[in-house]
């Protein structure tokens, strides 16, 4: 095989291999949690679900805490 043909086959195989790669941007570190003031319990039988960050779109978004019945 000629040198040119080997180079062409190698370039083709590399292109095919890299075409299946998915490049996802790196997420920035999660910010520190926001300090929330927990309001009074609305009624017995509820527990506090603390606020947290959720990755949405391309940024961290704060989801505030809330009371949930159990």
pTM of the model: 0.59
Q: Distance from first CA to last CA of the chain, Å, rounded? A: 73
Residues 6+ apart with CB under 8 A from 67: 39, 41, 42, 46, 47, 48, 49
The residues spanned by each domain of the chain are: 43-69
CA 44 to CA 46: how far, in whole Å?
6
Q: What is the pLDDT of residues 23-60, one digit of tens each?
A: 777 889 999 999 999 999 999 999 999 999 999 988 99
């Amino acid at each position: 095989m000629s040198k040119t043909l080997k180079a062409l086959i190698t370039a083709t195989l590399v292109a095919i291999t890299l075409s299946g790669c998915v490049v996802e941007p790196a997420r920035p570190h999660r910010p520190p949690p926001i300090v929330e003031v927990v309001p009074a319990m609305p009624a017995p039988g509820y527990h506090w679900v603390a606020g947290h960050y959720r990755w949405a779109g391309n940024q961290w978004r704060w989801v505030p805490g809330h009371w949930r019945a159990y």
